[in-house]
Structure 1
Amino acid sequence: MNNLTINIIPFKHPSIQKEFGFYTEKKEGYFPIHRTELPNELWDNQKEEVVKHKFYYTNFEDTEDCILKTKVDLYSSTKFAKHLYTRLVYQYFIDIADAIQFNYVGDIEVWLLDAKASTTKYNSYNKYTLKIEFSGLTKSPALLLSYDSTSKVATTSIDEINIPTEYFKTVVYNKEIQRFKYLTEDAKQHLDQVYPLLNIPLKNHLEIPHTVPRKGNRYKPYFNHITTFYNNYLNTDEFRDILPLDENGFFDIPEDEVLQTHYHSNNLRFYDGVGIDPKAGMKNPGPYKSSPHDNVRFFFIYHKPDRADYVVKLYNYFEKGYKTFFPPLKKHIRQPFYMDNDTSLAFESPDTAIKEIKHHLINLEKQPNTRYVAVYVSPIHKEDEDNKHLYYQVKEELLKHEITSQVIYKESINNAYFGAFLENITPALLAKIDGIPWRLDRELKQELIVGVGAFKSMETNTRFVGSAFCFNNKGEFKGFDCFRDNEFDLIAGAIGKQILKFVVDNDNKAERLIIHYYKPISKDEIDPIQKTLGRLKLDIPIVIVTINKTESSDYVAFDTNDNALMPLSGTIIEIAHLKYLLFNNAKYSSNGFAKDHPFPVKLSLYCTEQDYFEDIAIVKELIDQVYQFSRMYWKSVKQQNLPVTIKYPEMVAQIFPHFEGDKLPDFGKNNLWFL
């Protein structure tokens, strides 16, 4: 049985009424408040004055010579109350914190020095966020306390570091955390007291070793950090004089407030059986469906000097198996493994590789009715900043000739754990020849699911949006595309084409359109989709499930009955109206064991049809679908916590900016080449 505690501490509004004054000009120590967040009393009694200005300023103390003045009931003026409580907490921590700031959404970030983790070259800080909210869980105001990992700040000031100033991003001055490009005048006058947050260029310049984040169970250190912080700084009489926190501390979620996905949602269907483990299921009973292509030919692309030490070795692994636990590839993919040596290419140099590959493919006489798969043994790692373009160019050239590909970095072949790598690429290879490694075990429903994910290219500072289309709720995907993020009409047009195809294939039957979106959808983005449905004379609800592609580390719940602290997979908690945490991991039973401990996914629901979510069964069904689609990740046999409706489009969007063409080749829109 889960005993769930969440990192929220309830408190009660102070019962006293206090008078506050508001000014139209900003002064030092005064804070801006948008007119929509002013106390209700002002809107009720002085509306004509309130609407004259967009912003007002207050220090929550002074009333002399103010433009607006009123007593405030904090019970009813919750938006204003949040501002007040946030400023009170900020003032309390100014003397306690080693560094402090308001983050980009106006919550408080407190940094505490970790002397044990610091060195002579840098100071290490543990970071915490304090957020005032009016919680749907606690039905009261509450303080959210989250742990945000660590940051390292150089002990050398910026006036002593001889490096281009564009490498300075965030700095600390006089306990204040500032963006370098918005440095205050006081800080500019004292550059010898301004210390930069370390990033890769600064670490290299100051000869500070790069550290790799430790993997493992993050729930335990997170819980320990917030518990220690609570005991040291919040569970005190001094802090309760500011905010009367509940004596019980972190909120225990009532059992009837916790939802759970259906246990069968873990099930995957293989050839003639059902299981929950992709790794075991691929071996026995075997993949759900083998390739529909009668003829499949594999061929190698590699750097000529790598043949003996890498390519021949890889071929033998494919042909004969790897050690004792990875049988020959044909046993895994249920497909004869034929390596077409005449089609293979050994290029002379990475510098001439693309030229040689283009020439080779133009002159390649492909056999009819045959699916070709290139196994590219790359001499260069795709993360090699100076040469990574080669990885993408090879992918693009092959797609132009309707050839899917699997890239393997040559040094991986001699890795001691290459057997695990082979197990992971097996479902990817099968999917690339249009086989189905496994599918969801659920009843067919007439609905189209669209996934929209994004990736922002740091090189071009442009966000690219990928889309994926699923023609049924079993998780079988047909169709991908990629756009720039402002091309709303093109995205809507692509969705319209797939809706039309779906309707034709299903005798004009469509119950609803479900879109899994990587961010809150705007009116500009949903309007073209609604117009498209209108042109098709489809009067169906559009359901938007917004799925944060990063795990939630602000809201985290803990199962205090379990030593690992991670809640059961499929646990659902509503943290606000139609906003949920979904715990998606490999802990399937209360006594189960999981190697990985991902934090929850945060998602929210919206529908064009009013009151659509009144039935809790519909809410559970939609979240269950998100949960199940995370099981459809064919790039690996390892459990994922994001659904492929977000993950796959993001992967396409991440690669597409590196292509020379401005359109995805048509073959690439209907093949899982990017796995």
Structure 2
Amino acid sequence: MSQELYFNIITFDLPDKPITFYLSKEKIGNAQKLYKTKFPTNIEDLFPGIKEENPDFIYTSFIYEKEGYLPLKLNLKEQPTDLIKHYYNWRIKKFFKSIKKLVGQNFVNDNQIWIGNRSYQNKSFAQYYKFTVKVQIKEVSEYGELVISYDGMAKVFKKPISEIIKHTSTTNLNKVVYKMRLLKYHKEKEFIDDNTMAYAILNNDLRTAFNIQPEPKDDSNKYISYKHKIDKFIQHFILSEEFKKVIPVNNDDYLPVEINRIGEVADESNDLVFQNGVGRNPKIDFKNLKPLNPCQLDNVHFFFIYHTSYAKEVEALQKLLEDGTSWYKGLNIYAGVLAHFDNNVNIIFDDLENPLPQISQGIKDFKSDPNINYVAIYLSPFNKHEPNLEKKLVYYKVKEQLLYKRIISQVIEFDRFRRNQHKFIYDLTNISLALLAKLDGTPWQLNVKPKNELVIGVGAFKNTEENIRYVASAFSFKNNGRFNEFHYFSKSDVKQLGGALSDAIYQYVPTNQIPEKIVIHFYKDMKDEEIQPVLEMMDKLQLPCPLFVLNINKTKSQDIIAFDQNWNGELIPMSGTYINIGPKGEYKYLLFNNLRYNNTVKYPSHSSYSFPIKLKISSPTPEALNDSKMIRKLIEQVYQFSRLYWKSLRQQNVPITIKYPEMVAEIAPRFESKEIPPFGQETLWFL
């Protein structure tokens, strides 16, 4: 059954006739500020010599006559894309404001429209659905394009902030609704004249302060629910006659994906090698086909770190790991980890509120045998949503202290185990998988022939408490997905990052000779100053091989996706499908990675319905991008590397070259030393 793919895009016509904008060099009253990259192409007709003057900004009231602003006729189709987008974004915002809708902006200035959910009944909150209307110009068609996306739900307190601060500090406020405006409370407080009319938007800090539980996780098909919501939004607003007067929509249907934009990875890219054969779905095949390489380490000893009151649960957990339950037959049979539980070295604490001093002392006093490989199972009294930062940090400090003792650890939330013992089997499978990987086993591997190529992954994690982005690099992935070591940077230091990238190449070449190609998977667009040290090192080592940089982003819901209208109504495109979403000369793609294959009749239940990731491929030698076979190979490699995630049996859509460094960058900054102990640079301790 062939796919019928559609973008979440509604197209509109750009005007054929000239229109008149009103412009001024000075800001007079309310106006839109235009940066010089947005200046009209014929701006010299209005302001002779302005290009030589080179001001950073001019101002416009766009199509409205205004005192002090001069008219300029222009053909919109011939103007800078950024100017056209600015103009249409301005018109869209004005339209939704005129019909009394809340309008905010995302970080790239696309309009986000908040639509109240009238059917939501709650005495404390009003609920809003958030939709983004992103303007594109001739990206995937010959028209203007509106990318319509659903960004999730927001809740707004019904009591004003003047009331809720009786119960919590204003430090917990972030965004508020004030007189039909979305404002950042701490940055835009000057616009709030009356606190009895300002209403806080629920955020994580307020959720904690008022002890409000997170929304339950929804494992249903999000393609269906997502499309249902944008269908209603489009029908009600975008296709209305009033909106069409503002934006001349030219088709009431979603934009079909042109066939020449669609590609598919090779079918064998889905293959994973296990001990007893080739499979595709680790959830099934890890149990049936057995791990490729069981734990190779000698003398593996497990011990527990737990509170005195947890003794009964520790005993039950040990029995599950040793003997298993139902179809899970224990660590050894299920995951190939032969281990002895040494309860003589358990670390037991009695202070539930402040366990760290006793745990730290226990680790410090731990007498390890150099012939034994130790694994600590820490039953944590605190869960991942713990609001108290000191308690939350215990997890990280215990991990760090154990690493300095060359001890691998696995943390299990005590409450989760206690509540779910009867159905803990699914947790046990993921725990066993992660433990095998941490103990240098190989759960499964890509079914590829070894090649001499170097893949470097750079990921990042933003710590919202500190508002600092931490960067980590996973170096020297081989083409089968095995890694050599990790490096970590305490901050996004361009010089340090560039040095580490070039050092990875320097370390690789003497052992492996000249690679066929060097590939960098980067979590964002790579700047010139970040890539320059790499080029200098390649020049120094006289490497003739091409260098490719792949910017890999998890697709945000505010962005372009695609649906398949021809598959059982489930809408999810086939795994391995990639779509060119860039204009000519740009190598930008959507890549779908899920569990729908050629022969899949129905999507597996309890599986993730991942949205696609976005790729952008570039090279310092642009001619290298002319090789369409190479482009496909690079996309296939991203696809395959996403199938090597060993923390969970659940299918992921992000390659480990990005995901693993991101995990390191989330944990390592919490370490007291701010560094990863040497032992941790050679193992997958963070899984």
Is the 1:382–1:391 Cα contact (8 Å) retained in structure 2?
Answer: no
Cα distance change, pair 210–393 in 1 and its aligned pair in 2 (3 A): closer
The CA deviation at 1:273 is 1.2
Give the Cα separation in 2 of the matches to 1:281 and 1:64.
69
Q: Does 1:543 align with 2:544?
A: no
Deviates more, 1:614-623 or 1:339-348: 339-348
Look up the SS of the partner of 1:330 in the other structure.
Answer: helix
Q: What residue identity is the alignment partner of 1:255? A: I
Q: Is the 8 A contact 1:296 1:370 kept in 2?
A: yes
| CA displacement at 1:470 relative to structure 2 | 3.5
* Counterparts of residues 35-50 of structure 1 (less than 5 Å): 35-42=36-43, 48-50=49-51
> Does structure 1 retain, via aligned residues, the 8 Å contact 2:18–2:74?
yes
The corresponding residue for 1:293 is 297
Tell me which residue corresponds to 1:172: 177
Name 2:192's counterpart in structure 1. 188
Q: Which residue, 377, 394, 404 being the options, matches 2:379? A: 377
Q: Which amino acid aligns with 2:10?
A: I
Instruction: Label 1:211 to 1:427 Cα distance change in 2 as closer, same or farther (>3 A).
Output: closer
- How far apart are 1:449 and its partner, in Å? 1.0
Task: Please name the residue that 1:602 is paired with.
Answer: 614
Structure 1 partner of 2:571: 565
> 1:504 and 1:112, CA in 2 relative to 1: closer, same or farther beyond 3 A?
same
Q: Distance in 1 between matches of 2:174 and 2:381?
A: 35
Shift of 1:325: 0.8
For residue 78 of structure 2, give the secondary structure of its aligned residue in structure 1: coil
Q: Deviation digits for residues 618-638 of structure 1, max 9, x if unmatched? A: 222111111111110111111
- Could you say what secondary structure the match of 2:581 adopts? strand
Q: Greater CA deviation, 428-437 or 237-246?
A: 237-246
Partner of 2:368: 366
**CA shift at 1:351, angstroms?**
6.6
CA distance in 1, matches of 2:338, 2:467: 45
Could you tell me which of 231, 238, 245 is aligned with 2:242?
Answer: 238
Question: Is the deviation greater in 372-381 or in 199-208?
Answer: 199-208
Deviations 1:218-254 (A, max 9, x none): 1112211221222222223333233221224210112
- In the superposition, relative to structure 1, how do residues 89 and 549 fare at CA in structure 2: closer, same or farther (>3 Å)? closer
Q: TM-score, normalised by structure 2?
A: 0.92
Q: 1:265 aligns with which of 269, 274, 298?
A: 269
Distance apart, 1:72 and its partner CA = 0.5
Please report how far the alpha carbon of residue 541 of structure 1 lies from its aligned counterpart in structure 2 after TM superposition.
3.0
Which one of the candidate residues 151, 159, 167 is aligned to 1:156?
159
Is 1:501 equivalent to 2:524 in the alignment? no
Q: Contact 1:479–1:671 at 8 Å: present in 2 too?
A: yes
Does the CA-based 8 Å contact 2:299-2:371 persist in structure 1? yes
Contact map agreement 2:239 2:252 (CA 8 A) in 1: no
SS in 2 for 1:602: strand
Q: Which residue of 2 aligns with 1:648?
A: 660
Sort the Cα spacing of 1:529 and 1:439 in 2 relative to 1 into closer, same or farther, 3 A: same
Q: CA deviation at 1:199?
A: 2.4
Could you tell me which residue of structure 2 aligns to residue 405 of structure 1? 409
Equivalence map 1:128-147=2 (5 Å)? 128-147=131-150
Matched, 1:254 2:233: no
Whole-angstrom distance in 2 between the partners of 1:469 and 1:206: 43
CA distance in 2, matches of 1:225, 1:390: 41
Q: By how many angstroms is 1:57 displaced?
A: 0.9
Question: Which residue in the other structure is 2:281 paired with?
Answer: 277
Change (3 A) 1:173 1:476: same
**Partner of residue 479 from structure 2, selected from 473, 484, 497:** 473
> Which is worse superposed, 635-644 or 145-154?
145-154
Distance change (3 Å), C-alpha of 1:410 and 1:206 = closer
Other structure's SS at 2:343 match: coil
Report which stretch shifted further, 38-47 or 2-11: 38-47
* Aligned-partner residue type, residue 133 of structure 1: Q
Match of 1:667 in 2: 679
**Is the partner of 2:497 in helix, strand or coil?**
helix
What is the distance in 2 between the residues matched to 1:627 and 1:433? 25
Contact 1:468 1:645 in 2 (8 A): yes
Q: Cα offset for 1:457?
A: 2.0
Distance 2:80 2:298 in 1: 66
Query: CA separation in 2, counterparts of 1:73 and 1:340?
Result: 79
The 2-side partners of 1:355 and 1:65 are apart by 71
- CA drift at 1:46: 5.2
State which of 492, 496, 500 in structure 1 corresponds to 2:498.
492
Tell me, in whole angstroms, the C-alpha distance in 2 between the residues paired with 1:403 and 1:383: 26
Distance 2:303 2:86 in 1: 64
CA distance in 1, matches of 2:164, 2:360: 47
1:228 maps to what in 2? 232
C-alpha distance in 2, partners of 1:567/1:455?
29
Indicate if the aligned counterparts of 1:130 and 1:144 stay in contact, CA closer than 8 A: yes
- Code of the residue aligned with 1:625 in structure 2: it is Q
Structure 1 residues 69, 352: CA separation in 2 closer, same or farther (over 3 Å shift)? closer
The alpha-carbon deviation at position 513 of structure 1 amounts to 1.8
Shift of 1:64: 6.5
The structural deviation recorded for 1:533 is 3.0
In structure 1, the gaps of 5 or more residues are: none
> SS at the partner of 1:338?
strand
Q: Mean Cα displacement is larger for which, 373-382 or 415-424?
A: 373-382
* SS of residue in 1 equivalent to 2:49: helix
Secondary structure of the structure 2 residue equivalent to 1:668: helix
Q: Is the 8 A contact 1:35 1:51 kept in 2?
A: no
Report the number of matched residues: 671
Question: Is residue 121–residue 208 contact of structure 1 (8 Å, CA) maintained in 2?
Answer: no
How far 1:317 sits from its partner (Å)? 1.3
Kindly provide the amino acid, as one letter, of the partner of residue 6 in structure 2: T
Give me the whole-angstrom Cα distance separating, in 2, the residues matched to 1:206 and 1:345. 35
How many percent of aligned residue pairs carry the same amino acid? 34
Deviations 1:239-298 (A, max 9, x none): 323322122421011233211121111110111411012133322331111233233222
Contact 2:458/2:471 (8 A) holds in 1: yes
Compute the displacement of 1:473 (Å). Answer: 0.6
- State the Cα distance separating 1:437 from its structure 2 match: 0.6
When residues 27 and 106 of structure 1 are mapped into structure 2, their CA distance, relative to the original with a 3 A threshold, is: farther
Q: 2:462 aligned with 1:461, yes or no?
A: no
CA contact (8 A) 2:10 2:251 kept: no
Any idea what the Cα deviations from partners look like across 1:195-222, whole Å, max 9, x if unmatched? 2222245456678765435332211122
Find the partner of 2:125 among 114, 119, 122. Answer: 122
Alpha-carbon deviation of 1:350? 4.9
Aligned residue in 2 for 1:527 = 532
2:32 matched residue in structure 1: 31
1:426 to 423, 432, 440: 432
Per-residue CA shift, 1:366-390, capped at 9, x if unaligned? 3344322222233333442331222
Give the deviation of 1:184 after TM superposition.
7.1
C-alpha distance in 2, partners of 1:195/1:600? 35
Which range moved further: 630-639 or 23-32? 23-32
How far, CA to CA, are the matches of 1:210 and 1:330 in structure 2?
Answer: 36
Give the superposition deviation at 1:33: 0.9
In structure 2, relative to structure 1, the CA distance for the partners of 1:363 and 1:94 (3 Å cut) is: closer
Displacement after TM superposition at 1:392 (Å): 1.5
Specify whether residues 317 and 159 from structure 1 end up closer, same or farther in structure 2 by C-alpha distance, changes over 3 A only.
closer
For residues 140 and 258 of structure 1, the distance between their equivalents in structure 2, rounded to whole angstroms, comes to 19
Q: Which residue of 1 aligns with 2:601?
A: 591
Q: 1:71 aligns with which of 47, 70, 73?
A: 73
CA distance in 1, matches of 2:443, 2:207: 44
Q: Equivalents in 1 of 2:194, 2:353: separation in Å? A: 50
Corresponding residue of 1:483 = 489
Residue 25 of structure 1 aligns to which amino acid in structure 2? E
Structure 2 counterpart SS, 1:411: helix
